């Protein structure tokens, strides 16, 4: 339904959590390299539990190959420096939800990429830098899915 994209992720458990997220929601996970870990990393496997076989995960060598795989699609890039809230968007199936690496977030170069439809933020209290990557991805994914009546879910 939606495509969660992690650009250059660095922390294996966050990616493992995202694997569980996409397995549970029917979304796709796109990992854009270079990755900060190997996919056989035990912490990634442990965080993903037994959901690895239930998840749609694609690894892309770089952002150009990722764009080629997901086009045409709207791309929403998440950054603490945006002014539009993630909650103000009407999400559509196929949208890409783009998140940056844990220590730094998305670079200015990625945020300025012409594939990015809009920059969005998740509201936080002043003085806070960011949410955990997998938590941010889950929050936005569930909002997008909620807008579509949790299509396919057992309610």
Average pLDDT over residues 135-149: 97
**Is 121 in contact with 4 (CB distance < 8 Å)?**
no
**Residues in CB range of 34: below 8 A, 6 or more apart:** 8
Q: 11 labelled as ligand-binding?
A: no
Q: 107 labelled as ligand-binding?
A: no
Distance CA 76, CA 42 (A): 30
What's the token pair of residue 5? Answer: 């994209």
Q: In the predicted model, what is the mean pLDDT of the chain?
A: 92
Q: How confident is the model at residue 154 (pLDDT cuts 50, 70, 90)?
A: confident
For 47, list phi and psi in degrees, rounded to 5: -65, -35
pLDDT at 51 over 90: no
Q: 24 labelled as ligand-binding?
A: no
What's the token pair of residue 90? Answer: 């009407």
Q: In 3-state terms, what secondary structure has residue 46?
A: helix
């Amino acid at each position: 339904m939606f495509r969660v994209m992690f650009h250059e992720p660095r922390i294996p458990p966050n990616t493992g959590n995202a694997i569980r997220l996409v397995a549970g929601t029917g979304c796709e996970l796109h990992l854009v390299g270079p990755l900060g870990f190997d996919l056989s990393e035990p912490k990634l496997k442990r965080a993903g539990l037994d959901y690895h076989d239930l998840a749609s995960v694609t690894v892309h060598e770089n952002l150009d190959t990722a764009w080629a795989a997901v086009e045409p699609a709207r791309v929403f890039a998440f950054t603490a420096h945006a002014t539009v809230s993630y909650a103000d968007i009407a999400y559509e199936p196929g949208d890409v939800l783009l998140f940056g690496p844990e220590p730094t977030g998305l670079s200015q170069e990625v945020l300025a990429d012409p594939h990015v439809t809009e920059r969005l933020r998740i509201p936080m209290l002043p003085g806070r830098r960011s949410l955990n990557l997998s938590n941010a991805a889950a929050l936005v994914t569930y909002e997008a899915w909620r807008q579509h009546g949790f299509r396919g879910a057992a309610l």
